[in-house]
Amino acid sequence: MKKPAGTGRVLKSRVRNTSLKESSRRWLERHMNDPYVQRSKVEGYRSRAAYKLIEIDDKHHLLKPGARVIDLGAAPGGWCQVAAERTGSTDAHPLVVGIDYLGMDPVPGAIVLEMDFLDEAAPARLLETLGEAPDVVLSDMAAPTTGHRRTDHLRTMHLCEVAAEFALQVLKPGGHFLAKTFQGGTEASLLDLLKRNFRSVHHVKPPASRDASVELYLLAKGFKGRDGEAG
């Protein structure tokens, strides 16, 4: 999927607030003029991150009609929106359950738990709410930044590893796992674990992920199942 093209001449927004640091002003201007940000406002998505999932799903076909989905780190809700649309989830028959310790507005067709995924009660709550094992586990989780790059990197990688362990415990055979990671940062032990348990494992970087960003997505498809389960 190509990056979104404008429908005409776009007037660039400029930030006039002189109290902002120059780096903050540049970031804000870039965000305001980002075509994905503008498109999300027009199309009603909670964030530009929705297009990352849209582009990955367009290529890899994870979110099939009727599939059950768990979304880890769901706020502000863009991935829940996409998952609900593509699976056909409705308020009357919800197929998507998200979780985040940050509060967010309701997402039509999804149930969102306001709690920390790292809470020991969270996995059971997610499964209980979904009603059965998921076909897809999604995670766009990233740790709050501390300003120390190495620390931030390690904390987010820990979230990726915890999400992967959760996926291995709950996915249906044949299910898929997609999680945020970083370039050069996925631990070899995690990759080996996923390769043993899924039919294919690789990194993807959708066009909506900024070129300057070090983020990647770890995609594991075709869960082989736990001992005793049919594939």
The pLDDT tens digits for 99-133 are 999 999 999 999 999 999 999 999 999 999 999 99
Which tokens belong to 106?
């309701």
Which tokens belong to 174?
């044949």
pTM of the model: 0.82
pLDDT at residue 15 greater than cutoff 50: no
Please tell me whether residue 37 adopts helix, strand or coil conformation.
helix
> In this predicted structure, which of 60-69, 174-183, 205-214 has the lowest mean pLDDT?
205-214
Active-site residue, from 12, 21, 52, 180: 180
CA distances from 139 to 6, 127, 228 (A): 30, 16, 27
Residue 180 appears among annotated catalytic residues: yes
- In which region does residue 73 sit, left (phi positive, over 0), alpha (psi from -120 to 50) or beta (all else)? left
- The whole-number average pLDDT for the span 155-183 is 93
- The whole-number average pLDDT for the span 62-91 is 98
- For residue 108, the model assigns a pLDDT of 97
The residue ranking higher by pLDDT, 28 or 205, is 205
- The whole-number average pLDDT for the span 67-72 is 98
Domains in the chain: boundaries: 16-45, 46-223
Q: What's the mean pLDDT when you consider all of the chain?
A: 84
| CATH superfamily membership of 46-223 | Vaccinia Virus protein VP39 (3.40.50.150)
Sheet holding 96-100, edge to edge: 110-114, 96-100, 69-72, 136-139, 176-182, 215-223, 198-204
| Contact assessment for residue 87 and residue 69, using Cβ atoms and an 8 Å cutoff | yes
- For residue 23, the model assigns a pLDDT of 52
Residue 9 pLDDT class (50, 70, 90 cuts): very low
